[in-house]
Amino acid sequence: MRASICVSVVVISAVTATASAQDHSYTPADIENGGRLYQTTCSGCHGPAGDEIPGVALGRGVFKRGTSDTDLIAVIKTGIPGTAMPPHAFSDQEAAQIVAYLRNMTVVRTGIGTTVMRGLGDPARGRALFEGKGVTCHRVYGRGPRTAPDLTEVGLTRPLPELRDALLDPSATMRPANRPFRVVTTDGRTIAGRLLNQDTYSIQMLDSSDRLLSLPKRTVREQGFASASPMPSYKGTFTDQELDDLVGFLASLKGFNP
Ligand code: HEC
């Protein structure tokens, strides 16, 4: 049974605090208990995989009604007025356990994804870490270079487990459109960057200094994609708490500056 394998992964990552509204670290027992509460209370409407209400995908880790655990606990306890989502008389701890389960639903149910999520960290602390390490490559809200993918909407486009995996194993999670592209010209120059477009006669790319280049194909000797991401893995660089904070920051990026 895959679910039990995944739960043992949580044990190895040794998350010890118990869930409460303030403390967003979960134990495997919290996730398990949250799963039980979900199955008895929520799955009648939302379905066992959380995808039976049109426009709501509880297993994806991306929510329209909030980002933080505290937001989701409030949604569960007070419901969504004017919709069929009812209030629930859970304690903060029970609601937090359900959130712990929602965050890990896909991994627990299917084994897809490699990382069992802990809580979602603090976006402000995550932003400070990101600006320390990341702004030199990625663009967010119109700031930063275009060489690496723009992250302004990454909280909408990537599910949470994938955000965390992208920090730990960038090559495995790289999207085809983001593969680095390299050209060697007939006069011996090597240009690395991203491919924007190409037609019969020319290649348009952004070089590593963020310049838009249009290269006539007759001046190009070699061209190709690399399979490894130029982004370094942050495995071992950040503590678990710092990774939570970074993922919290990335998840908060929804295309507009709050
Ligand atoms: C009676 C049916 C019903 C039950 C029971 C129910 N929900 Fe909902 N829930 C809904 C509906 C309908 C919506 C969509 C409301 C909207 O935005 O239009 C919703 C929305 C949500 C959202 C917001 C989704 C988002 O993308 O922001 C969350 C989170 C949620 N439900 C969690 C739960 C949990 C957890 C439980 C069990 C404790 C639960 N719901 C029980 C009907 C239900």
Per the domain annotation, does 106 fall within a domain? yes
Which CATH number belongs to the domain containing residue 146 in this structure? 1.10.760
- Tell me, what's the pLDDT at 135? 53
- Tell me, what's the pLDDT at 99? 92
Nearest residue (CA) to ligand 1, atom 20: 85
Given 75, 110, 145, the domain boundary residue is: 110
- Tell me, what's the pLDDT at 188? 92
Q: Kindly report, residue by residue over 134-179, the tens digit of the pLDDT.
A: 556 788 877 777 777 788 888 777 777 778 788 888 887 787 777 8
**pLDDT for 247 beyond 80:** yes
- Considering the domain architecture, whether residues 131 and 159 belong to the same structural domain is answered as yes
Q: Kindly report, residue by residue over 14-41, the tens digit of the pLDDT.
A: 233 333 334 456 777 788 889 999 999 9
- Tell me, what's the pLDDT at 1? 35
Nearest-atom number in ligand 1 for the CA of 99 is 35
DSSP of the chain? -HHHHHHHHHHHTT--SPP-SS-----HHHHHHHHHHHHHHTHHHH-TTS--STT--GGGT--TT-SSHHHHHHHHHH--TTSS-------HHHHHHHHHHHHHHHHHHH--SS--------HHHHHHHHHHHTTTT--BTTBS-SSSPP-TTHHHHS-HHHHHHHHH-HHHH--GGG-EEEEEETTS-EEEEEEEEE-SSEEEEEETTS-EEEEEGGGEEEEEE-SS-SSPP-TTTS-HHHHHHHHHHHHT--SS--
- Name the residue of 36, 40, 56 whose CB sits within 8 Å of the most ligand 1 atoms, as the mutation to test its pocket: 56
Nearest residue (CA) to ligand 1, atom 32: 76
- Considering the domain architecture, whether residues 105 and 39 belong to the same structural domain is answered as yes
Nearest residue (CA) to ligand 1, atom 19: 85
- Tell me, what's the pLDDT at 44? 92
- Considering the domain architecture, whether residues 18 and 60 belong to the same structural domain is answered as yes
Side-chain-facing half-sphere of 104: CA atoms under 13 Å: 30
Per the domain annotation, does 256 fall within a domain? no
Q: Which residues pair with 207 in a beta bridge?
A: 193
Q: Kindly report, residue by residue over 54-69, the tens digit of the pLDDT.
A: 989 898 877 888 888 8
- Considering the domain architecture, whether residues 164 and 45 belong to the same structural domain is answered as no
Which structural domain, as residue segments, surrounds residue 191? 180-225
Q: Kindly report, residue by residue over 115-137, the tens digit of the pLDDT.
A: 555 566 777 888 888 887 655 67
Which CATH number belongs to the domain containing residue 216 in this structure? 2.30.30.100
- Considering the domain architecture, whether residues 6 and 59 belong to the same structural domain is answered as yes
**pLDDT for 202 beyond 90:** yes
pTM above 0.85, yes or no: no
- Considering the domain architecture, whether residues 205 and 132 belong to the same structural domain is answered as no
Residue written as token pair 């320390």: 132
Among 113, 120, 116, 114, CA closest to 35? 116
Calculate how far, in angstroms, residue 46's C-alpha sits from the geometric centre of ligand 1: 7
- Considering the domain architecture, whether residues 34 and 79 belong to the same structural domain is answered as yes
Q: Kindly report, residue by residue over 69-88, the tens digit of the pLDDT.
A: 889 999 999 999 999 999 99
- Considering the domain architecture, whether residues 131 and 237 belong to the same structural domain is answered as yes
Per the domain annotation, does 79 fall within a domain? yes
- Considering the domain architecture, whether residues 219 and 240 belong to the same structural domain is answered as no
Per the domain annotation, does 72 fall within a domain? yes
- Considering the domain architecture, whether residues 247 and 135 belong to the same structural domain is answered as yes
With a pLDDT cut of 70, the percent of the chain lying above it is 82
Nearest-atom number in ligand 1 for the CA of 42 is 37
Domains: count for the chain: 3
- Considering the domain architecture, whether residues 128 and 237 belong to the same structural domain is answered as yes
- Considering the domain architecture, whether residues 20 and 82 belong to the same structural domain is answered as yes
- Ligand 1 contacts (CB < 6 A) are 41-42, 44-46, 53, 56, 58, 63-65, 72, 75-76, 80, 83-86, 88, 98
